Chain A
C-alpha cells in the first residue's frame, strides 16, 4: 500500500453524539489516529449528494483508511409497540436507518480508494429480538447483512467490513439506564474492539459480527 506523505492516514467516525461515538473517537485518538467526526444531518437519509459532500470534506487532506459507523438517527431508538406506530415513526426507526447506512457505505467505498476497513456498530437487540423495538431491530439486521454484502463485494478492493454488536444503551443516550452506571465502561470496551478490527491483526477478518455485550447473549 503506497503511503503519500502529503496525505496522512485518516479515520472517519460517522455517528451522532452517543457513548459509543465518544468512546470510539477517544480510543482512536489515543492510538494516534487522525480522526474526523461526521454527524449526518437528519435529511441525509434521502440525499446521497449531501452524504457524499460531507465525506469529501472530512476526507480532504488525508487518505481515508478507516470508517466507523455508529450512527443512530434522532428518535429512532424510541420504544413503542408496532401497532401504535404510524408510517413516519416506522420510517424514522427503520427505513431511514437503513438508507443512511447504505449511503454511508457507498460514500465509504468511494473514500477507501486504497483499501481499508469499515466497522459497523449495531444494537444487539436484533440478534435475540426485543419487544417494543421492532423497527430498530429490523433495521439492525438489515445493516448487519449489508455489511456482509459489502465484505463479499469489496474484499477484492482490499476493504474489510465487520460488525460490532453492542447493548442498545451504548448506542443511544436516550436508552441510558437510570444510574448511567456501566455504560462508559461498556462503550470503552466496545471501542477497543473497533480499534482491534481497524488494526493489522484483524486483516483476515471480514463479514463477521462480534458481540461486545459482556456475555449477555452468547449467540449460537
Chain B
C-alpha cells in the first residue's frame, strides 16, 4: 500500500539534494504540497521536478541555524498552502562527509555540525510546534546508522545524529499529549557525498554492497522517500518516538 498525502503540506529542510530531495520528490508523488527548503538555490530544481511531474511545490531558501529564517520558511509555507502537516529536518552541515579524528578535531568543526543538526533541530521543532499542533501533524528528524553505532572516520556526524535520536524520543513523549508525533529515520542511501567517496575509493562501493543483505544501496526517493512519506501519513498515526532504520538490512542493532 502506498501512503497518501493528498491535501497535506510537507516541509523538507536540506531538500536541494540527496536524501532530502528524495523525500521531497516522494512526498510530492503521493499528493503532498511540498515546501522545498535549502540553504542555497538548489531547492528550486527539486521544486521544479515536483511540479514537472504534476505535483505542487515551492522552493524557499532557509538557513536552519537562524531561527528567524526557519520562522520565515514556515510563514511562506502557510502563505502558499494554508497549513503545515509535517516537517522533515534533514539538513546537515556541508562538513558532514569530511573525515576527521575525534582526538584532533576542533570546536570550529564541531560548531559546523552542531549548528545545523542540533541547533537546527531546536529551531525547527520550536518554530514548527504551533503549526503541527494545529494540524495534528508530525516532526521527523533524519538521523543515521552512524548515530547508532558510531563512525570512526566521521565522529562529529555520528555524535550529532545520535543526539537527534535522544531528541526524538524525549520530544515524542513531551508532544504526544499535544497530538504531535515525532519520529526519526536512519537511512542508508546513495547520495552525492557517497558518490564522491566511491570515486575517491573505487573499492568502497563493492565492499559496502557486500555488507547489505538486500545487496544494493538505497535510492533516496524510492527506498527512503517512500518510508518518509509513510511516516508523515495517517498510516503512521500510532507511531511516535521511533527510529526507522532504512538500510537494506545493513544495520539491525538498535
Binding site for B on A (CB under 8 A): 46, 48, 81-83, 85, 87, 90, 94-95, 98-99, 102-103, 105-106, 109-110, 125-126, 128-135, 137-142, 144-154, 207, 220
The one of B104, B122, B158 in contact with A149, judged by C-beta atoms closer than 8 angstroms, is B158
Contact B106 A145 (CB under 8 A): no
- Please report the C-alpha to C-alpha distance between residue A147 and residue B23 in the assembled complex, in whole angstroms: 31
The 0/1 profile, CB within 8 Å of A marked 1, for residues 135-149 of chain B is 000000000000111
Q: How far is the CB of B252 from chain A (nearest CB, A)?
A: 12
Q: A94-B118, A132-B174, A146-B102 given as contacts; is B166 within 8 A of A139 (CB)? A: yes
- Please report the C-alpha to C-alpha distance between residue A48 and residue B111 in the assembled complex, in whole angstroms: 14
A131 neighbours in B (Cβ, 8 Å): 170, 173-174
Q: A82-B126, A130-B173 given as contacts; is B163 within 8 A of A94 (CB)? A: yes
Contact B171 A152 (CB under 8 A): no
Interface SS of chain A: helix
Contact A149 B118 (CB under 8 A): no
Could you list 8 examples of A-B contacts with CB < 8 Å?
A: A138-B121, A138-B167, A144-B162, A145-B150, A146-B155, A147-B150, A149-B150, A149-B152
The 0/1 profile, CB within 8 Å of A marked 1, for residues 107-127 of chain B is 100100010001101100110
Interface residues in B26-63 (C-beta closer than 8 Å to A):
none
Q: Is B87 an interface residue (CB 8 A)?
A: no
Contact A145 B103 (CB under 8 A): no
Nearest opposing residue in chain B for A152, CB measure: B152
- Please report the C-alpha to C-alpha distance between residue A95 and residue B110 in the assembled complex, in whole angstroms: 10
A105 neighbours in B (Cβ, 8 Å): 102-103
Contact B103 A141 (CB under 8 A): no
Residue of B119, B147, B167, B168 most packed against chain A (CB within 10 A): B167
Q: How far is the CB of A207 from chain B (nearest CB, A)?
A: 7
Q: A46-B107, A48-B107, A149-B159 given as contacts; is B166 within 8 A of A137 (CB)? A: yes
Nearest opposing residue in chain B for A132, CB measure: B174
Q: A138-B164, A149-B102, A152-B152 given as contacts; is B110 within 8 A of A99 (CB)? A: yes
Contact B169 A137 (CB under 8 A): yes
Residue of B67, B101, B129, B174 most packed against chain A (CB within 10 A): B174
Contact A137 B167 (CB under 8 A): yes
The one of A95, A128, A153 in contact with B152, judged by C-beta atoms closer than 8 angstroms, is A153
- Please report the C-alpha to C-alpha distance between residue A106 and residue B159 in the assembled complex, in whole angstroms: 14
- Please report the C-alpha to C-alpha distance between residue A207 and residue B162 in the assembled complex, in whole angstroms: 14
Contact B166 A149 (CB under 8 A): no
Q: A98-B163, A142-B163 given as contacts; is B122 within 8 A of A90 (CB)? A: yes
The one of B102, B106, B129, B172 in contact with A48, judged by C-beta atoms closer than 8 angstroms, is B106
